[in-house]
Amino acid sequence: MAIIEDLFINVCIVTTLVFVYMKIRWGHADKKKNIRVSYLIDGLLGGILGLILMEFSIRVTDETIVDLRYIPILLMLLFVGKQPAFITTFSITLFRFLFGFNLSSYTAIFFNVTIIIGFLIIDNLKKKEEDFLVKGMYMVVYSNIVIVFFLFYLIRDISVLIPLSIIYFIVSTIGGFISIFLMRYLRTSEYLYKKYESESTIDFLTGLKNVRNFEDLWNYSIKMTKQKEIPLSLLMLDIDHFKNINDTYGHGNGDFVLMEISRIMEEATSEIGTVFRKGGEEFAIILPGVAKNQALDIAEKIRVTVERHQFSIDKNTRIMVTISIGLISYPETTTELDLMVEDADAALYLAKDSGRNQVAF
C-alpha cells in the first residue's frame, strides 16, 4: 500500500505542477523574449518538476528510488519541443546526484539517455500522428518497459521486483495518461481563451484594435498625459461617401477599401500612434506625446496618401477615395482632456461640412 500511496503522490504532484507551469508559461507568452531563453526556462522548469518527483519518490533500497521523473521529459517533447526536452533530461540527470553518488544514480544516466532516445524515435515514427494522447501513450508504455528493465538490473530480489513492477506499470500508465490529457486540455483552453480575448479587442476585418481597446488605451493615455505633463493628440477619421462605394461596387469591395486604408494609417503611425476602427468607416488614432504640429503632419500625410492611392477593386477598375479628419491636441487646441473625444468628433464633422477631404481642428 505504501508503494501505491507514494506513486499516487507523484501523480498528484505532476498534475498540480502542470497547472502551475502552464499558468507561468501563458502568463509570459505575449512578452517578447529570445526563443533560446524561452526554451531554457521551459527545460529548467521541467527539470525542477523532475527534482520534486524524486524528492517524493519510493525508496526501494538504500540506493534505488522509483518515481515518475520521465513524465516531465515526455511533456516537454510532446508539447514544447526537443530542445527543452534535452534540457529537462540533462537537469534531471544532474539532480539525481543530489540523492547520492552510487550505482543507482550512475545507472540513472543511462536510463535518462535511453528514455530520451526512445521518445525521439517514437516522435519521428509517429510524426503524422495528430492525437497527442496516442503518441504519448506509446511513450508511456515504452518508459514503463525501460524502467522495469533497469529495476531488474538494480533489484535482484524477485519478491520485491515483481509486485513493484506491476504496481508501477499500472500507476505510471494512469499518471502518464492523466498528465498528457491535462497538458493538452490546458494548452487548448489557454489557446481558446487567448483567441477569444484577442477577437474581443481586435476588428476581424482590418486587424486593427476595436472600440473596446480604444476606450482602455484612451483612458490610459489620459492618465499618462496628466502624470508626465506631455502633449496628447487624437485623430478621428471618416471615409468620404463610403456608402456610395458599397452601393456602387459592392460590400466586398467596400471591405477591400477599409483594409487598404487601415494599412495606410498603420504605416503612417507605426512607431508613434495606435490606429483603431471605431465602427463602419470611422477610425481613430491616438498619438501619445505628439503635439499639434506633428499630429497635423501625420494627418495630412494620411489624407494625401489616401487621396493619391488607386484602389484596384478588379483588373479593369480603379477608384479614388478621400477621407476627412478631425484633429484635437492637448494642450494647444484644448485644455480639457476628458472632452477630447467629443472635440475630435466635432472637428471631424467640421471637416466633412467644409467640403470633405481635409483636416480640421
Block residue for cell numbers 484635437 = 328
The x, y and z cell numbers of residue 197, run together, are 480575448
Q: Show me where the domains of the chain are located.
A: 2-200, 211-360
d(CA 323, CA 332): 24
User: What does the angle CA 305 – CA 309 – CA 311 come to, to the nearest 5 degrees?
Assistant: 145
Q: How confident is the model at residue 88 (pLDDT cuts 50, 70, 90)?
A: very high
What pLDDT is stored for residue 198 in this prediction?
64
Residue 4 has pLDDT above 90, yes or no: no
**According to the per-residue pLDDT averaged within each range, which of 11-25, 155-169, 326-340 is highest?**
326-340
Find all residues with CB under 8 Å of 29, minimum gap 6, and list them: 194
Residue 324 has pLDDT above 70, yes or no: yes
Q: How confident is the model at residue 192 (pLDDT cuts 50, 70, 90)?
A: confident
Pick the CATH number of 2-200 from 3.40.50.300, 1.10.10.10, 3.40.50.620, 1.10.1760.20: 1.10.1760.20
Is residue 277 classed exposed, middle or buried when 0-12, 13-18 and 19+ CB atoms within 10 A define those classes? buried
Residue 185 has pLDDT above 70, yes or no: yes
Residue of higher predicted confidence among 2 and 273: 273
Find all residues with CB under 8 Å of 323, minimum gap 6, and list them: 237, 238, 239, 240, 261, 302, 303, 306, 307, 357
pLDDT digits (tens, 9 = 90+) for 221-264: 999 999 999 999 999 999 999 999 998 988 889 999 999 999 99
Cβ pair 147, 57 in contact under 8 A: no
| The CATH number of the domain covering residues in 211-360 | 3.30.70.270
pLDDT digits (tens, 9 = 90+) for 133-183: 788 889 999 999 999 888 888 887 788 778 888 888 888 888 888 888 888
Query: E strand or H helix at 283, and its extent?
Result: strand 282-288
The number of beta carbons lying within 10 Å of the beta carbon of residue 339 is 13
Calculate the alpha carbon distances from 320 to 60, 240, 264 in Å. 81, 11, 14
Q: How confident is the model at residue 199 (pLDDT cuts 50, 70, 90)?
A: low
Q: What percent of the chain has pLDDT over 70?
A: 94
Q: What is the mean pLDDT of the chain?
A: 87
CA 332 from centroid of its chain's CA atoms: 40
Residue 29 has pLDDT above 70, yes or no: no
d(CA 152, CA 148): 6
SS3 289: coil
What pLDDT is stored for residue 136 in this prediction?
87
Give yes or no on whether 2-200 and 211-360 have one common fold: no
User: What does the angle CA 141 – CA 184 – CA 77 come to, to the nearest 5 degrees?
Assistant: 55
